[in-house]
Structure 1
Amino acid sequence: MLAPKISVLLPVYNAASFIGESIQSILDQTESDFELLIIDDCSTDNSFQIIESFQDPRIILHKKKLNSGYTESLNWGIDQARGKYIARMDADDVSLPQRFEKQLLFLEKNQHIAMCGTDAIVKGSNLKFNYPCEPEAIQANLLLGSSLIHPSILGRAEIFKAHKYNIAKEPAEDYDLFTRLAASGIQLANLEEPLLIYRVHTNQISKVQNQKQIGSAQQSMLRMFKLFEYDRIQYSDETVLSYIWPTRSINRGQLKAGLVFFEQLKNSKHPFTKKEVLKVIRIKRYNLFKAYVKQMNFGTIKASFLALRLLGLSHWRQILKLSY
């Protein structure tokens, strides 16, 4: 049997409300040379029965014997994938018809790019991703957070197979993967066009396990900041995390120390462009000022605007958009 061009990984757990529409959106792709690997993680609703109702020969359905998690399902799919490319899809999202066609065309024209995502239309929220498209900008933006929409990505199979997902990092396994790739010099990109409908709803993994997600994401962000050549003895991981991801209010001394740290980063050796570094540091300084103002018992909104006034930033609209 000839290998398909694309292997699509679709993990499922109790997604009966959405899974049918999600599968159909893949089957309706204008690029039809794919296999659809659906991994059911012991769903207790009728997700499995809905999946079985599709008779398309491109579907390969695997029902796990034990509920072992979303990331383990993805790694199983990576092991089984026969395609030259691997695409991600979530059970509650919808891929627009030309998604695979346009991503394949982009990757085949840009052999130096390992993986690309797309923008998305968001349902159920006013969320806008506003992720950059160029590899250099994405690498720097990973200093701020995940910079590709996970269920929109399509990449070269050898990259997925060589790196895989870290099960311990779920539910922020995507940010972990992207930072590991970027830190090793692998180039990532985004298509500006929205080719995915991304749903936000109360049952999503990221809301249920919010604290675990934050802990994992902090370590991924720290990985990116370690690409700066700063003094590792003077600045422990714990100290750096308190500057780049302040989770509580800080005093004047901590504010001053954090600002000194960011000033040193500007002058240190690093793989990022100067323009992107300056943007990231402005945002991180703003967040640090906001954490300082919070200890004065102002509300979050007042703290945000006071921090902006203290900084005297003329680019406040950009800061507000990127810092939440």
Structure 2
Amino acid sequence: MNAPLISVVVPAYGHQAFIGRCLASIAQQDHGPVELILLDDCSKDDTLAVAQRFLDQDGVRSRFQRVVCERNPQNLGAHDTINRGVSMAQGAYISLVNSDDVYYPGRLTSLLNVLTSCEARLAFSAVQCIDLMDQVAFDEEAAAIPTTIPHRARANLPTLGFSFLRYQPSISTGNLLFERSLFDQVGGFISLKYCHDWDFMLQALRWTEPAFVDQVLYGYRLHGGNSFRELSDRAAIESEIVLTRYFKGIRAHRTQNRFAPTPYNWPHVFEAATALFEVDGIWKKAIGGVVGKTRVYAGN
């Protein structure tokens, strides 16, 4: 049976120092048919030129079934750059990667295998924080990123999906592989600066339970340009937008994913979880109740 085409979408911006390593990690994947779509979002540095030089090396372009490497007509932001890239993709599966991050060997094969084996439509893996030199980061910033959430969720919550009511366990858009048809059902990534990935995951829960591969297959780079460093009041605003969208979508509708965290699928358990995660105020407001205080972590 022929392996399916995976389209790897790279939204690139301002990462001339890292884009070569990012692309090398994609080219070195052991999955067969891979399509590469790199969209530079009008970087002010040489990100696009460095990417093109890498792709012009002997044998690199031929590794991919199809290559798109171009600049956006105007700066779109990460969310719309991803949406544009997916719209150009020809694969049945979409894999994302931030232009400063790296895939670890076997990532695409491992995530695709878990999707097909458990009938999930979206998968992500364990994440390793890395420094400028691709070494494991052991600083306070790395410790602040909640990479252990999937393990705790599986031990203490009814499903992994419940953890998305409080956190963004997949950490980043770059850690996602999903069916193209799921992207179409969700409607893509919405116009949020920090929380578009969290919103996508919550909306995807209505259609599928995510699969988690308990293996470090993604290197998340920490450096001066990480967007999470700028999280403050904007993150709180976007968090409420994300949760309100999800809550309004589930309050009166059944979900295709029968394990999705909803009051219909999980009577009493859902309400207890929103109280435990201190998002019950947003839930009550979404269904016409009284808003309360919330403390919500936003991913990036």
TM-score bin, normalised by smaller chain: 0.7 to 0.9
Which residue in the other structure is 1:203 paired with? 225
- Which whole-Å CA distance do the structure 2 matches of 1:3 and 1:45 have between them? 37
Correspondences of 1:16-95 after superposition (within 5 Å): 16-54=16-54, 55=56, 56-57=60-61, 58=64, 59-95=67-103
TM-score by length of 2: 0.73
- Which whole-Å CA distance do the structure 1 matches of 2:213 and 2:268 have between them? 24
The amino acid that maps onto 2:201 is: F
Q: Which of 152, 175, 191 matches 2:198?
A: 175
Q: Which of 153, 159, 169 matches 2:182?
A: 159
Pick 1 or 2: higher relative contact order, CA cutoff 8 A, min separation 6: 2
The amino acid that maps onto 1:19 is: I
- Which whole-Å CA distance do the structure 1 matches of 2:267 and 2:22 have between them? 39
CA contact (8 A) 2:48 2:70 kept: no
CA contact (8 A) 1:3 1:83 kept: no
- Which whole-Å CA distance do the structure 2 matches of 1:114 and 1:191 have between them? 13
Query: 1:226 Cα deviation (Å)?
Result: 5.2
Query: 1:270 Cα deviation (Å)?
Result: 4.0
Residues 221-258 of structure 1 show CA distances to partners (whole Å, capped at 9, x for unaligned) of: 2344557869xxxxxxxxxxxxxxxxxxxxxxxxxxxx
- Which whole-Å CA distance do the structure 2 matches of 1:130 and 1:90 have between them? 21
Query: 1:276 Cα deviation (Å)?
Result: 7.5
Are residues 71 and 27 of structure 1, via their aligned partners in 2, closer, same or farther at CA, if it must alter by over 3 Å?
Answer: same
What stretches of structure 2 of length at least 5 have no aligned partner? Answer: 131-136, 253-261, 280-296
- Which whole-Å CA distance do the structure 1 matches of 2:267 and 2:69 have between them? 45
- Which whole-Å CA distance do the structure 2 matches of 1:85 and 1:100 have between them? 10
Are residues 269 and 12 of structure 1, via their aligned partners in 2, closer, same or farther at CA, if it must alter by over 3 Å?
Answer: closer
The amino acid that maps onto 1:63 is: R
Which residue in the other structure is 1:218 paired with? 240
Query: 1:110 Cα deviation (Å)?
Result: 2.0
Correspondences of 1:1-324 after superposition (within 5 Å): 5-54=5-54, 55=56, 56-57=60-61, 58=64, 59-111=67-119, 113-123=120-130, 124=137, 125-126=142-143, 127-132=145-150, 137-149=159-171, 150-182=173-205, 184-208=206-230, 210-225=232-247, 269-272=263-266, 278=272, 281-284=275-278
- Which whole-Å CA distance do the structure 2 matches of 1:160 and 1:269 have between them? 24
Are residues 164 and 23 of structure 1, via their aligned partners in 2, closer, same or farther at CA, if it must alter by over 3 Å?
Answer: farther
Query: 1:156 Cα deviation (Å)?
Result: 0.7
RMSD of aligned residue pairs (Cα, Å): 3.1
More helix by proportion, 1 or 2? 1
Q: Which has the larger radius of gyration?
A: 1
CA contact (8 A) 2:195 2:298 kept: no
Are residues 13 and 95 of structure 1, via their aligned partners in 2, closer, same or farther at CA, if it must alter by over 3 Å?
Answer: same
Partner secondary structure for residue 117 of structure 1: strand
Which residue in the other structure is 2:293 paired with? none
- Which whole-Å CA distance do the structure 1 matches of 2:188 and 2:239 have between them? 14
